[in-house]
A and B are shown apart, each in its own frame.
Chain A
Amino acid sequence: DIQMTQSPSTLSASVGDRVTITCRASQNIDKWFAWYQQKPGKAPKLLISKASDLETGVPSRFSGSGSGTEFTLTISRLQPDDFATYYCQQYHNYPWTFGQGTKVDIK
């Protein structure tokens, strides 16, 4: 199975900060990669697919980059609504796998 490793596991930040989350895959997954946001008690929400394609309706402060084995999610200016847990996912090889999550909380 492809292991997806996110860093950091927890990130404390303030409104207006630039935030970067990294996800590393244990083998090459090309660009078959997504980022999701999850708030407590809610289903995940797709933010970015194919490593850098922003979903319709997702604010432009979110961006994704990378290919192969290293990927990043950047939030250019953190907003109050962005405090949540973020998961990466690969859909290159079965079984599709997720990272362990990065919780972004208030500093």
Chain B
Amino acid sequence: QVHLVQSGAEVKKPGASVKVSCKTSGYTFNDHYIQWVRQAPGQGLEWVGWVNPKSGGTHNAQKFQGRVTMTSDSSTTTAYMELNRLTSDDTAVYYCARDQGTYGLAFDMWGPGTMVIVSS
């Protein structure tokens, strides 16, 4: 069975950084992109970006350019998303999700989400 397990909730001050992990199991890690999506409280879904575990390549939404770093570790089948220079607007649940393939498709399995609260 495919599982994605995320790290626990985080509370950060404005200007700080947060790193969220996504431990995967039950499938061949290198055969699927890992996507990151966030959801602010009471709001809709917002795509952050993806990491290709096979190559280490990434692509993120322009609004996060320069602030987000997505990585992966094939030895532990874990993906990571780090977001820097946090503001209150970054308060959200951050989800990792498995892409259906390796070239950007729909997201067929999701982690439970990691709540990130940014507050002074």
Contacts and interface: CB of A to CB of B under 8 A. Distances in A.
B104 A91 contact: yes
A49 B106 contact: yes
Contacts of A99: 44
Given A43-B95, A43-B113, A49-B100, A96 B47 contact: yes
- Which bucket holds chain A's interface residue count? 20 to 34
B111 interface: yes
Nearest to A43: B110
Interface in A34-81: 34, 36, 42-46, 49-50, 55
Given A43-B113, A44-B45, A98-B45, A89 B61 contact: no
B52 to A, nearest CB: 14
B106 A94 contact: no
A45 B61 CA distance: 22
Interface in B98-118: 100, 104-113
A79 B110 CA distance: 23
B59 interface: yes
Contacts of A22: none
B76 interface: no
- Which bucket holds chain B's interface residue count? 20 to 34
Contact of A97 (B47, B95, B100, B105): B47
Nearest to A85: B44
Contacts of B37: 44
Contacts of A55: 108
Interface in B28-81: 37, 44-47, 59, 61-63
Interface string A83-97: 000010101001111
Contact of A100 (B44, B47, B108): B44
Given A43-B95, A94-B61, A98-B47, 11 more contacts: A34-B107, A36-B45, A43-B97, A43-B113, A49-B105, A50-B106, A89-B45, A91-B105, A95-B63, A96-B61, A96-B104
Contacts of A95: 47, 61-63
